[in-house]
Structure 1
Amino acid sequence: MAETWDTIADWYAERLRTGSAMHEFSRDILLDCLPETLTGQRILDLGCGEGIITRALAARGAWALGIDPFPRMIEQAQAAPKNGPPGAHYAVDDGCTLATVATGSVHWVTAALSLNNVPDLSAALTAVRRVLVPGGGLAFTIAHPCFEAPHATWTDRAQGRPRRVVGDYHAEGFWRSDNPQGVRRAGNQHRMLSTYLNALGGHGFLLEATAEPSPSSRVAAEQPQRAGLPPFFLVRASRS
């Protein structure tokens, strides 16, 4: 049976709660591109998973709503320690429609490693633009598609040092990893960088910043082969 985010939800939540350097790095770089204080801000966290970003937003003072299409993920988010920030809320919803979120109701939308999972990027950006107030912001991270193209592998042929071997970069679409301990065994949508950036402009977003942060020291210590590559691509844009 093919894995889904529902079937791996318990494993995924446990992995993050016992400490995942990669996910904490993704959280930290996303938070770094947001205002330091979010008091009074209403934020939608699209594809929240077990709530790692939603909780962090609430800790900065925001009213944060985490949505995810997979009920077991929302159950895990709601089961997080109850002594967490009071501003974190959760609901089952589809990021391609955001049917439970009112038009023009949020100041920010965040999406940490989730837009690369939505099947229809155009629909998701249409929904995000609808729920944002005029001038509202979108901040997201994706697994860097240049280095996480379908079935990329590692080799140590270059002077004994690990190197990323990537092919099929132009082959956009759904793919599933055969790594039994990887999150992409639940599936992933590969898209080129140009696809993301052109889609933002085509849906009325103004690009404000992009970044390809070097791995944190903790990520590099856990996965030394990644020390020379950015694991994530970060984007901040605003609704025109």
Structure 2
Amino acid sequence: MDLLQFRWFGGWLVSSVKVLMTETWDTIADWYVERVRTGSAMHEFARDVLLDGLPADLDGQRILDLGCGEGLITRALALRGGSVVGIDPSPRMIGHAQTAEQASPSGALYAVDDGASPATVAAGSVEWVTAGLSLNNVPDLAAAIRAVRRVLVPGGRLVFTIPHPCFEAPHARWSLGADEPPGRVVGNYFAEGFWRSVNPVGARRAGNQHRMLSTYVTSLVEHGFVIESVAEPAPDARVVGEHPLRAGLPPFLLVSGLRS
């Protein structure tokens, strides 16, 4: 144990102990699901940002939701008429998604599977792949992009969001204005690789793969995708209400690519 810290996160003073952490998406699944389903402005905004990158009517469209977690986006896609399968490597997350589907059927299907080498999805079987805040959790980005290309039909599209890499680099933190102006203090943006947040109420305590924005763009181009759009949506009133310091920063990056 190194240090007991007290920091502000989203308006709450919390303590954290810097230790060698071994959290995974399975171990934080119950906490994560409760947070998402009891009202999280950031998760709702992330969902809406991704959905804004797809047609409002998805009737007859086949969709793979890669890294679906507890199914927040998967259910929304199914309710737009899409034929949706959500995959995630966390059995506990998929269990929560299936329980939600049983309680309120949307037509979505789920499977435990690895987004970098999906064994449950056939080649050329979907028109869309969505990845909401999931590619930043995949250790091998190139393998994941190749897998996406394999399952998409020619002319199919990948639409994904990631935490904005410019502001969610390892060791980025919030300045509260004591010795420096209030705002976001970013660490080493160029330090790509796996890292864990010490925030005890943050999902990235389970780990995150930091990559530069250019790494995502280059990987798409190298694997035969035409980039159609890149967006940095400003946080909405819900997010600013929960996290006032985010008012001037885009929390997420939204990218849409066409399979050539």
Counterpart secondary structure, 2:149: helix
Indicate yes or no: 2:78 matched with 1:58. yes
Structure 2 counterparts to residues 34-183 of structure 1, below 5 A = 34-80=54-100, 82-157=102-177, 162-183=182-203
The residue identity in structure 2 corresponding to 1:94 is: D
1 CA distance for matches of 2:242 and 2:41? 8
Quote the Cα distance in structure 1 between the aligned partners of 2:243 and 2:205: 19
Kindly, what percent of the aligned residue pairs are identical? 71
Q: After TM superposition, which residue ranges in structure 1, 4 or more long, deviate above 6 angstroms?
A: none
Aligned length: 240
| SS of 1:227 mapped into structure 2 | helix
How far apart, CA to CA, are the structure 2 residues paired with 1:45 and 1:112? 8
Matches of 1:85 and 1:35, distance apart in 2: 22
* Pairing partner for 1:216 from 223, 236, 241: 236
Match of residue 49, structure 2, among 29, 32, 37: 29
Q: Displacement of 1:53 after TM fit?
A: 0.4
Letter in 2 for 1:31: L
SS of aligned partner of 1:82: helix
Deviation (angstroms), 1:159 = 9.9
CA distance in 2, matches of 1:109, 1:81: 20
**What code does the residue aligned with 1:89 have?**
L
RMSD: 1.4
Contact kept? 2:78, 2:84, Cα under 8 Å: yes
TM-superposed CA distance for 1:157, in Å, is: 3.7
Instruction: Tell me the amino acid that sits aligned with residue 67 of structure 1.
Output: I
- In the alignment, does 2:203 pair up with 1:200? no
Q: Which has the larger radius of gyration?
A: 2
Deviations 1:81-117 (A, max 9, x none): 5353432110000000011100000010000000000
CA contact (8 A) 1:59 1:85 kept: no
Deviations 1:158-213 (A, max 9, x none): 99852111021000000001111110000000000000000000000000011000
Taking structure 2 as the reference length, what is the TM-score of the superposition? 0.90
Could you list the runs of 5+ residues in structure 1 that have no partner in the other structure? none
CA distance in 1 between partners of 2:148 and 2:176 (Å): 42
In the TM superposition, what are the counterparts of 1:224-239 in structure 2 within 5 Å? 224-239=244-259
Instruction: Please state how far the C-alpha of 1:154 moved relative to its aligned partner.
Output: 1.3
Q: Is the 8 A contact 2:101 2:108 kept in 1?
A: no
